[in-house]
Chain A
């Protein structure tokens, strides 16, 4: 059967379903008419229009609502029939109410729920607490694990070697001056095998800033710890080469501490403090 004839049949069946009884009878070709009648019977039995999309596309209300949603404000106002216009407006309100809900729910499904990461940190915290009691610091948070400095080297070795954890990558180690005489060292750990990550934080007193070095566990910690030492003066005990990494060896003070003051001279070079002509 040619495409033209099929199209003719589909059109006639649709019209017949919409109420036009003569649509099929008006077909001139006898064979096509018979086929159209058979298709009509079939369509009526299954209870759905032959082409659902096409029926929607022919509905003026649906067209106007779709255009209005796409941004064409006048699509509905241009409908001449008053009743159809009112129906279209009602449909638009309904469509708008439904659409954002659908979108937000679908986006939510794609993202991992916050409980997943939260649970991992809490589970890990419990695991550490079982293995090393008293090493967990009292202040706890859902996003990181606060440890005491004493057992840090043993905990780090265990974190790297335990077959369920295998934190084989230390991604960053940085320092922080929290003020009020407290320094903090932070470790971002990641497992290349299990693809999970966590953050460890260790607080120390500024008077006695000793933290065990993990340079032997993760070799990359060598320079990380040297930089933290350089800027904050945190003393990583057990580090095999703890020197300043950026500043000269004879530099006085720890620049990123809150109580740091600029030196007045360095090797006889005057550091001007009065900024004349500025501001």
Chain B
């Protein structure tokens, strides 16, 4: 809580635990790099020094067990779909999914005739944010991740949702 030091008497902040947890989660969503096609190049560019995802607290991880967010970057074939599902199940809660690019959102150019392509990764795992583009630029991916951070911040992990 370094930011809030000496601002209040006796270093006390009154806030919901829900809010604290959401804040903590939203500012460090480490992502599982799941590059399956050309979108992965843009994802790498977003993580590299020019666009620098680390400045908003996002770090690439190579293991699903250390990751909070799965960025599905690229075409997912039927053969891969089973692996995507398995890897998603290996991630620890709380977990989020970003579908990056046309292929991951809807099948993209393989929508009509790609007999072997999964028509959107949301047929296998729940998706939180869709990023359009073929492939989306790193700026678009960053925008998607900021949207995800907003979503996480609004979430209430402890209290039961009503209505």
Taking Cβ atoms with an 8 Å cutoff, the residues of A that contact B are 247-248, 251, 255, 260, 262-263, 266-267, 269-272, 275, 278
Contact = CB atoms under 8 A, between A and B. Distances in A.
Contacts of A271: 119
A269 B115 contact: no
A220 to B, nearest CB: 24
Nearest to A256: B115
Taking chain B's interface residues, is the majority helix, strand, or loop, or is none over half, making it mixed? loop
B81 A278 contact: no
Given A269-B123, A270-B123, A255 B115 contact: yes
A108 B67 CA distance: 66
Interface in B81-136: 81-82, 111-112, 115-116, 118-119, 123-124
B79 interface: yes
A278 B119 CA distance: 13
- Top 8 nearest A-B pairs by Cβ distance? A248-B79, A262-B115, A266-B78, A272-B119, A255-B115, A269-B123, A269-B81, A275-B112
Given A267-B78, A267-B81, 7 more contacts: A255-B116, A263-B115, A266-B81, A267-B82, A269-B78, A278-B111, A278-B112
Contact of B118 (A248, A255, A260, A269): A269
A278 B110 CA distance: 13
Contacts of B115: 255, 260, 262-263
A126 B124 CA distance: 58
20 contacts: A247-B79, A248-B78, A248-B79, A248-B82, A251-B78, A255-B115, A260-B115, A262-B115, A263-B115, A266-B78, A267-B78, A269-B78, A269-B118, A269-B123, A269-B124, A271-B119, A272-B119, A275-B111, A275-B112, A278-B112
Contacts of B82: 248, 267
B124 to A, nearest CB: 6
B117 to A, nearest CB: 9
Nearest to B80: A248
Nearest to B123: A269
Contacts of A251: 78
B109 to A, nearest CB: 12
Contacts of B111: 275, 278
A251 B123 CA distance: 19
Contacts of A270: 123
Contacts of A262: 115
B101 to A, nearest CB: 18
Interface string B11-49: 000000000000000000000000000000000000000
A272 B81 CA distance: 15
B163 to A, nearest CB: 31
